[in-house]
Structure 1
């Protein structure tokens, strides 16, 4: 069963949103705990909030661009999770015409 983190910005809903997918509960819980420790050790840096909504669903809001936060955290403080999670740009904002799954055409014979 996959575990998800919904990442967005506080400033503007027209900025890119991302979905993080983790393979198992222990990995996402470790990631969540490390992000919480990062927030405690750097309360003014990066300005973000994270919440565990349910065992399978987390939300993370940043005051900056979401991808900048993900890149910075994954490249520096949480590098050990880089190969353990998958980040996906959501196609949920008007004008963002990058469908994840292309339109399928089926022909019957």
Structure 2
């Protein structure tokens, strides 16, 4: 798991690369890392290009982060979603929530 943070202008930005799986077996570990990052930064950017496997548990985590971010006045940005991510997001028709283009 790779994590990096940076300050851009006056905004606090956390950039996180999620590599490997985002599934029922790994989502708890990611949740414990990502929720604090969201609480500490105005923008949480998730690079999903290296996600190998992605299931509904991963989708639930992304939805939780997005909704928590909205409630806290913070932004969650998804970048470079792997085909595994795009496929599940499209299956559940949640592209609009995540700001992704429909397939």
Larger radius of gyration: 1
Q: Which has the higher strand share?
A: 2
**TM-score if structure 2 supplies the norm length?**
0.31
Q: Which has the higher helix share?
A: 2
Q: Higher relative contact order by CA 8 Å / sep ≥ 6: 1 or 2?
A: 1
